[in-house]
């Protein structure tokens, strides 16, 4: 989970004081919004992006994610592309791993 972030350099830490192995993409760090609890951690992904990548991490295929969320498969693919870009991941499995590492998602069961 990222708790420290320097927007000038893109550097961050994982919450244990361990620096991230790469800088975060500039412009993709945000503070907790007005509807989030005061102590909420800043997030990289939007709520919809988190939902898509969490469902993918839970083992659902793109077509099933689209059906479950009531969106098209190209929209699911767009959300996954945004996740890869924001997490600076070359592949979708790498994006899932980084989302887990940063506390963006949790895997059920």
Residues 32-63 pLDDT 10s = 444 544 455 668 899 999 999 999 999 999 99
Q: How would DSSP label each residue in 2-25?
A: --EEETTTTEEE-SSSPBPSSPPP
Domains recognised in the chain with CATH numbers: 4-29+44-101 (1.10.10.10)
Those residues of the chain that have pLDDT short of 70 are 1-42, 109
pLDDT at 29: 47
In the chain, the percentage of residues whose pLDDT exceeds 90 is: 54
Report whether 104 contacts 44 (CB < 8 A).
Answer: yes
pTM, entire model: 0.63
């Amino acid at each position: 989970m990222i708790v420290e972030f320097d927007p000038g350099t893109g550097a961050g830490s994982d919450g244990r004081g361990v620096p991230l192995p790469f800088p975060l993409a500039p412009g993709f760090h945000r503070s907790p919004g007005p509807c989030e609890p005061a102590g909420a951690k800043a997030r990289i992904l939007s709520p919809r992006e988190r939902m898509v990548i969490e469902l993918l991490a839970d083992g659902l295929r793109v077509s099933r994610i689209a059906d479950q969320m009531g969106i098209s498969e190209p929209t699911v693919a767009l959300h996954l592309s945004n996740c890869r870009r924001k997490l600076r991941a070359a592949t979708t499995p790498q994006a899932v791993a980084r989302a887990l590492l940063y506390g963006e998602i949790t895997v059920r069961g």
